[in-house]
């Protein structure tokens, strides 16, 4: 569990089954995509910092940025949606698996794929609910309450996209976990 579903470091990362090779293929395919999503997230955060500075200095000069609350709130949502998958690509995470590590090693290897399968199921449900809620907001023509009155629906769809970017990562981890289980 501590490697987050990736092949073990230093060990021969030769997959035992087709599932492990599929996990490797997913990792290789999505890495450049997440790199560009990271660049987009960095551009959004840079734009938010500029907008925040402009708004702060504008208040001092009695000419603040109109709609700065909406810009910050929804801009951060877009940034998080873009960076969600990027953040989960790395291996250097601290995983709190206090309960799982109390189990014997063989039980851990059985539990890991189950956990990843549950995460995939939860992600699919969350994406489905976000899209469903976005459609409802679109049909109601709901707008933000701030000064800009932005439509809310696109932000639900953007967040659903952000959740969708996690699916390949978790799927690859699931495949690696099953591969390690089969290899033992």
- CA distance linking residue 137 with residue 39, whole number of Å: 29
pTM of model > 0.75: no
Residue 124: inside a domain? yes
Q: Are 23 and 176 spatial neighbours (Cβ–Cβ below 8 Å)?
A: yes
Quick one: pLDDT band at residue 24, thresholds 50, 70, 90? Answer: confident
Residue 116: inside a domain? yes
Mean pLDDT, residues 95-124: 79
Q: b vs e for 137-153, b when ≥16 Cβ sit within 10 Å of the residue's Cβ?
A: beeeeeebebeeebebb
Residue 130: inside a domain? yes
Residue 10: inside a domain? no
Residue 4: inside a domain? no
Residue 114: inside a domain? yes
- CA distance linking residue 147 with residue 8, whole number of Å: 51
Contacts of 143 (CB under 8 A, 6+ apart): 149, 150, 151, 152
Residue 113: inside a domain? yes
Question: What does the H/E/C string look like for 111-165?
Answer: HHHHHHHHHHHHHHHHHHHHHHHHHHHHHHCCECCCCCCCECHHHHHHHHHHHHC
Residue 30's Cα: distance from chain center in Å? 13
Tens-place pLDDT, residues 156-184: 999 999 889 888 888 888 888 888 777 76
Domain assignment of residue 100, given as a range: 18-183
- Least confidently predicted of 25-34, 83-92, 174-183: 83-92
- Least confidently predicted of 18-22, 106-110, 120-124, 133-137: 18-22
pLDDT at 90: 62
Give me the number of domains the chain comprises.
1
Residue 129: inside a domain? yes
- CA distance linking residue 86 with residue 105, whole number of Å: 29
């Amino acid at each position: 569990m501590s490697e987050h579903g990736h092949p073990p470091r230093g060990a021969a990362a030769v997959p035992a089954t087709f599932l492990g090779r599929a996990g490797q293929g997913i990792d290789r395919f999505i890495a450049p995509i997440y790199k560009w999503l990271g660049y987009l997230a960095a551009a959004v955060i840079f734009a938010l910092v500029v907008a925040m500075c402009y708004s702060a200095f504008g208040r001092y000069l009695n000419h603040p940025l109109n709609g700065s609350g909406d810009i910050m709130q929804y801009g951060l949502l877009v940034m998080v949606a873009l960076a969600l998958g990027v953040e989960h690509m790395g291996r250097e995470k601290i995983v709190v698996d206090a309960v799982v590590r109390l189990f014997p090693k063989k039980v851990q290897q059985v539990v890991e794929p189950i956990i990843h399968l549950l995460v995939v199921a939860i992600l699919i449900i969350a994406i489905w609910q976000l899209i469903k809620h976005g459609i409802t907001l679109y049909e109601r023509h709901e707008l933000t309450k701030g000064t800009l009155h932005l439509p809310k629906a696109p932000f639900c769809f953007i967040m659903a996209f952000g959740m969708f970017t996690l699916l390949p990562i978790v799927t690859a981890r699931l495949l690696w976990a099953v591969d390690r289980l089969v290899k033992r």
